[in-house]
Structure 1
């Protein structure tokens, strides 16, 4: 595993991993997708520069990654001011108020997309196709090699998704479902900032996210994974606390 220490290195790696999905989105939707992408980049970088200047810190440029994730999942016919407001909320409330990337416990892109759905009820996230899943694979391999995505979370997510579909629909999800969900699973659910920090916690966190995605699947796969990522991220600190307390209790019992 290659060591990644500097914030800009993380941003560069995640941005590189996002390029194939972004290019797939641009090829599919053309100029409509380009306007969303440019707006997302401008808004994200403005907030990044505002907060880093206020804190007198060098920028991490992670706003680029957030903008790319949101632009891939957002509707291309979205009013641009809706996008700007949602991104502003996600970046400021979901990330910057905690001190920036790495200091909070939520994925800024997931917060932005959830805000978009709740604040503007007519907004429907486009359903991801298998082409987006295939485009995610090279970036996923890169992030796994760099330790920026945890395989336990993804495997546990698949387990939770299968169990959830069995309860909700009485059948297992189609293979295309896993492929279509791969982008959001990689960049929202498996985000190391939002997921659990302990090894056992990552298994529990992934299963919880998979179950939630299955239960919300009636709203559409894209929205379901967004809600699952957000809610699982909220309980991730609790999951870690339970794991640590259980581990400490076992050690005390042995002593």
Structure 2
């Protein structure tokens, strides 16, 4: 059996192919959630085609669910917010990485036309429990926006979103799709002489980060991903 799944904001897919049996299964859903249900439908079809008799107690959704709910996500459930080393406005600006390109961070106090658009979009989906942070537009295949969330000192977490401020299709209610299940990528701003030099992600930007064992050299030299402030 050869299987693969995937999707983009707004839909998910599951495929399973049986080359020696001459058939395959493709399941699709117009949702950002419910991979376990999608695979449950796919595996049930496989059982039916192959003539297997699954146990009457088999619950595919229950057995697959842990696979998609294991990523660490911190919940902001109180109004006690982490304090960064510098005011949020000090981290504003444009940051660039050769591989990932550039983004411009806005604080809640930003007044430029660009930041007004970014903050207005986030305002449609954030709640009063969300930690104040830094915000950016990030128009890519998988994302539309980024949020940089204070953790401690100059350490921040990055979270990627696709925001639909005017809904989608007939449903005009704003909603957000959290990329990688809401996973947060750990980063640290490089500050020298009170000025922000860049933003480093020691383990990269992946839901399964690569270990970075070289901690003796400056972080901006050893981080797998480094956005230089320009």
The answer to whether the superposition gives a TM-score over 0.5 is no
Larger radius of gyration: 2
The answer to which structure, 1 or 2, has the higher relative contact order (CA under 8 A, 6+ apart) is 1
Q: Could you tell me the TM-score, scaled by structure 2's length? A: 0.26
- Bigger strand fraction: 2
- Bigger helix fraction: 1
Q: Could you tell me the TM-score, scaled by structure 1's length? A: 0.24
